[in-house]
Structure 1
Amino acid sequence: MDFMSNLALGFSVASTMENLAFCLIGALLGTLIGVLPGIGATATIAMLLPITFQLEPVSSLIMLAGIYYGAQYGGSTTAILINMPGESSSAVTAIDGYQMARQGRAGAALAVAAIGSFFAGTVATFLVAIFAPPLTTIALKFGSAEYFSLLVLGLIMSVALAHGSVLKALAMVVLGLLLGMVGNDVYEGTPRFTMGITAFADGLNFVALAVGVFGIAEILRNLENEHDRAVVTSHVGRLWPSRTDFRAMIAPILRGTGLGAVLGILPGGGAILASFASYTVEKRLSKNPKEFGHGAIAGVAGPESANNAGAQTSFIPLLTLGIPANPVMALMIGAMIIQGIVPGPNVAIEQPGLFWGVIASMWIGNLMLVILNLPLIGLWVKLLTVPYFILFPIIMAMCAIGVYSVNSNIYDLYAVAFFGLLGYVMGKLRFEPAPLLLGFVLGPLLEEHLRRAMILSRGDPMTFVTRPISLTLLVLACIVLVLVLVPAVRRNRAEVFTESEV
């Protein structure tokens, strides 16, 4: 009964005219930035954070969530029509989706992606609703030692799931932790790493760092690499899949949904991991594996279901523990803090309307995406032909205006430029930026819980290993770190991420 009453509360909050409007805006914006390659959900949400200051907390989170899972839908459109995934989690979809488009079956591929995404999103939304309350109850029993160990595990998982070198990912986490320490000491009030600049007394601007590393850096990379957009527009074909297509896609959608639901919870990049894990599973289970890479329905249905399920379930650690599973969730935490909400298990108890309203809005947003996206395919195709030299000045202007409007501080614009160049250089050197953002967001929380646990234990570091839950989490972190350093595991990990970038 509690479950149904909570869902009823969530739908009553999410179905108000104001929240429905923001859900629609988020879903359409997410689809738009997913369709346009080279922008991405992370950069868009970072740019739109200043706008959310004027909104109600639940409305702002509903809109930002809509942008995130809307981008998963939009990314599949470019993957299928121009062989260029708008979102990294749609990279695997391009392998068979584009081949289907070249065979005159682009409409069927787009419909399969939409149906799989909607089903996976619906299942994942109910999983969030089912598992979030008990996890919240467990999280309420956590002390500072347990939270510290949980944060350590989250950061180690982000290293394990990052692209490229483990050592480089670890370096990015450390850099993020150091950047998170800039500002006045939480307990003593003394300035740290401020270089005598009073504007840095409250720490580096989260929005400036996110926009620079993910927005400006991405623009610079796109300006450097001019893509040949061979858009398939001549014959999209019928949108509704045939009976044969339905029979071929049912099992991959179910398997992809299950994989995505589990892997999406993992910190670092669960939705991306889920999509290529699903592709690998479908290829191995197929009676005709040679059809993969030449227009296999399963190669579209499975990964698309997996990445959307992963996108939805990544909200579980955010809503229950206040721990981000990926950079977008880190931005969501930033939005909550800006609104005066302390992320964590208390949100469900203190603000149940917000907690359940966001969950209910996920299903409403997914329904909106299915209803709107297929009829608007013609519009998305036309947008793909817009030259990038027209888009990038508009995006950069939005970045600058958005960041400056947060504090009206000129140093924030310098910070955007600096982090934009830093992000561009990191990309050149193959340093994954996601662990840096996670380290930056989790760093202050990590320090706070570490120091609080040490104060409560009167300086005894054994408090982290004498408490069973804390010890278990630290052991898991050590196991994950050791596993990714084992040569065989490291080699398989490199092969998997290479396949995901095909």
Structure 2
Amino acid sequence: MDKLVYLAEALTPLNLLLAFVGVLAGIVIGALPGLSATMAVAVLVPFTFTMEPASGLIVLGAIYTGAIYGGSYSAILVNTPGTPSAIATTFDGFPMAKRGDGALAVSLSTLASVFGGLVGALMLMFLAPPLARVALAFGPPEYFWLAVFGLTLISALSVGNLMKGLIGACFGLLLSMVGVAVIGADVRFTFGSHMLLGGIDIVAGLIGLYCIPVLIDLVATRDPHLKVEGAQTGFRLGEALSISWREKFNLLRSSIIGTLVGILPGAGGSVASLVSYSEARRASRHPERYGTGEPGGIIATESANNATVGGGFIPTLVLGIPGTPPDAVILGALLVQGIKIGPALFSAQSPIVYTFIFGLIIGTLIMLPVGLLVGRYAYKSIIAIPKAALVPTIAFMTVIGSFAIHNNLSDSAVMLGLGAIGWVLNRAGFAPSPIVLGLVLGQIAEQGYVQSYLIGNAQHNVLGMFFGRPISLVIVAFALLTLFYPYIAKAIGAARARRSRTDIVVESRNGTPS
């Protein structure tokens, strides 16, 4: 009965307005390359200090969830992830847009984002304390193997050219090691440049490797950016609903994966979307379609990265351990408001917590109509804008977005440099996705490995530290399955084909019509 009171509080006109404004602002900011969800939340945190705690949290949660979803727009329409969580959305989103199905891709992204967000928020409401204990079971070895698990996605991204995918991933891992080491403070690969001491920022690298090559190709060719002839620019909601229902198991599985990955501090939406994409491709009857414009790829990635919003709040609220970078900013806002974080939060300050959770659910639901409307006009605008105006506009946003990360021109210079390198590598057949994957997961893998080695060495049991923990062994098994699944599936298909041919020969010899 008390929860109905909290729901009514979340439905007051002020909180509804705050949720709407937060979602809209988050979508716009998330769609701009470089302006991440963390930045949106951090900039607007001071404005919430004069609000009631629940109202302030509602607007921050709405901005967060809107920004994660907004990153899919630029991923689908200009092949540039607006946020790191939308990296995997480019794999199938942009191919769909190129063939005239951009409106359908945006609608699928909206539906998947709303569903994933609702799953994450509901699990936050009902399962927060037990799920928070799962986060405590993860130590450095589990984070190391989780990063390795993410890197096995390269086998899925590089079917037919696995060697170039592995080389690209190794290059990304090298980029992640530039600067001062996370543990030990060793200075590496800076070549005496102070600009590289802070390392390669993930967002700057992402913008450079994805966006700059696209801009160069737009300038170098006369072809239109997106196919216009025959393109359907309506909502295409009925078609999107039909595809989502067909992919219902993919949708539910990816949402659960996103929530579980979200509760792991530091993992975030980028890891969740990559793992979900890999599992969706592995479980599909037509894995060869992934990467060429398969709707199931968008559903997997967008449901997973939005589910991390609710999942990330679980360790933040119950343990005081932020699950994602935006959660760390929101945790600071909670402390300023005088809210005591811990297991007793859900009972001692239940009005604030449950009003916020209901507000998060309402904001996620508001994202459906707002996202469809914004997405429809975004697609029509991208098609209508001539390249002569589109290219300089995107170029300006990439420079501003990379600069705004740390208010440092060095990030813009790194972004442009990596963009030029990325274009050359694209011409040589190296895709940007394995490089970005190595860059994103390299720091997680390095920190987990070094910490595990130091602890294992102190205990004189290094192998036991890496291979003697049950959760680690489960992750290793999944990593091996994902890595070798394309070859296993190919061998099984070949064996079935041989059996089929053998049966036909036997039937023909026996005089039985085949």
TM-score (norm 2): 0.63
What residue is the counterpart of 1:182 in the other structure?
178
Is 1:196 paired with 2:192?
A: yes
Structure 1: gaps of 5 or more residues: 34-40, 80-85, 282-292, 294-298, 323-331, 342-346, 493-502
User: What secondary structure is seen at the aligned counterpart in 2 of 1:431?
Assistant: coil
Distance 1:160 1:321 in 2: 32
State the 1:95 CA deviation.
Answer: 10
Q: Is the 8 A contact 1:180 1:444 kept in 2?
A: yes
What residue is the counterpart of 1:227 in the other structure?
224
Matches within 5 A, 1:396-411: 396-411=395-410
Match of 2:246 among 231, 252, 262: 252
Which whole-Å deviations, capped at 9, do the CAs of 1:37-66 have from their partners, x for residues lacking one? xxxx7x3546x8666552329767743542
RMSD across aligned C-alpha pairs, in angstroms? 5.4
Matches within 5 A, 1:10-409: 15=15, 18=18, 20-28=20-28, 43=33, 45=35, 53-56=42-45, 62-63=62-63, 65-70=65-70, 72=72, 88-90=91-93, 117=112, 120-121=115-116, 124-125=119-120, 129=124, 134-156=130-152, 158-164=153-159, 165-225=161-221, 226-227=223-224, 229=226, 231=228, 251-252=245-246, 254=248, 257-258=251-252, 260-261=254-255, 269=274, 308-313=302-307, 333=324, 361=360, 364-371=363-370, 373-374=372-373, 377=376, 380-409=379-408
Q: Is the 8 A contact 2:210 2:419 kept in 1?
A: yes
User: What secondary structure is seen at the aligned counterpart in 2 of 1:384?
Assistant: helix
Distance 1:10 1:65 in 2: 17
Which whole-Å deviations, capped at 9, do the CAs of 1:100-130 have from their partners, x for residues lacking one? x9xxxx9xx7998599557745654456546
Q: Is the 8 A contact 1:319 1:355 kept in 2?
A: no
State the 1:447 CA deviation.
Answer: 2.3
What residue is the counterpart of 1:438 in the other structure?
437
Go from structure 1 to structure 2 and tell me whether the alpha carbon gap of 1:371 and 1:133 turns closer, same or farther (over 3 Å shift). same
Q: Is the 8 A contact 1:211 1:416 kept in 2?
A: yes
Q: Is the 8 A contact 1:161 1:267 kept in 2?
A: no
State the 1:406 CA deviation.
Answer: 4.1
Go from structure 1 to structure 2 and tell me whether the alpha carbon gap of 1:257 and 1:26 turns closer, same or farther (over 3 Å shift). same
Q: Is the 8 A contact 1:160 1:166 kept in 2?
A: yes
Q: Is the 8 A contact 1:183 1:202 kept in 2?
A: yes
Go from structure 1 to structure 2 and tell me whether the alpha carbon gap of 1:445 and 1:49 turns closer, same or farther (over 3 Å shift). same
State the 1:471 CA deviation.
Answer: 3.0
State the 1:223 CA deviation.
Answer: 2.9
State the 1:386 CA deviation.
Answer: 0.8
User: What secondary structure is seen at the aligned counterpart in 1 of 2:165?
Assistant: helix
Distance 1:186 1:235 in 2: 49
Task: Indicate the structure (1 or 2) with the bigger Cα radius of gyration.
Answer: 2
State the 1:7 CA deviation.
Answer: 8.9
Go from structure 1 to structure 2 and tell me whether the alpha carbon gap of 1:263 and 1:316 turns closer, same or farther (over 3 Å shift). same
Go from structure 1 to structure 2 and tell me whether the alpha carbon gap of 1:399 and 1:144 turns closer, same or farther (over 3 Å shift). same
State the 1:448 CA deviation.
Answer: 2.5
What residue is the counterpart of 1:499 in the other structure?
none
User: What secondary structure is seen at the aligned counterpart in 2 of 1:207?
Assistant: helix
Q: Is the 8 A contact 2:282 2:485 kept in 1?
A: no
State the 1:420 CA deviation.
Answer: 0.7
Distance 2:171 2:27 in 1: 33
User: What secondary structure is seen at the aligned counterpart in 2 of 1:415?
Assistant: helix
Go from structure 1 to structure 2 and tell me whether the alpha carbon gap of 1:305 and 1:469 turns closer, same or farther (over 3 Å shift). closer
Which whole-Å deviations, capped at 9, do the CAs of 1:57-114 have from their partners, x for residues lacking one? 97677435424424557888999xxxxxx9544468679985xx9xxxx9xx799859
Go from structure 1 to structure 2 and tell me whether the alpha carbon gap of 1:207 and 1:256 turns closer, same or farther (over 3 Å shift). closer
Q: Is the 8 A contact 1:184 1:192 kept in 2?
A: yes
State the 1:139 CA deviation.
Answer: 1.7
What residue is the counterpart of 1:476 in the other structure?
478
Go from structure 1 to structure 2 and tell me whether the alpha carbon gap of 1:137 and 1:378 turns closer, same or farther (over 3 Å shift). closer
State the 1:28 CA deviation.
Answer: 4.7
Q: Is the 8 A contact 1:93 1:303 kept in 2?
A: no
Go from structure 1 to structure 2 and tell me whether the alpha carbon gap of 1:52 and 1:149 turns closer, same or farther (over 3 Å shift). same
State the 1:276 CA deviation.
Answer: 7.7
Distance 1:380 1:3 in 2: 40
User: What secondary structure is seen at the aligned counterpart in 1 of 2:157?
Assistant: coil
Distance 2:447 2:78 in 1: 43
User: What secondary structure is seen at the aligned counterpart in 1 of 2:462?
Assistant: coil
State the 1:236 CA deviation.
Answer: 7.2
Aligned length: 433
Structure 2: gaps of 5 or more residues: 47-56, 80-88, 262-270, 287-292, 317-322, 333-340, 347-351, 495-514
TM-score (norm 1): 0.64
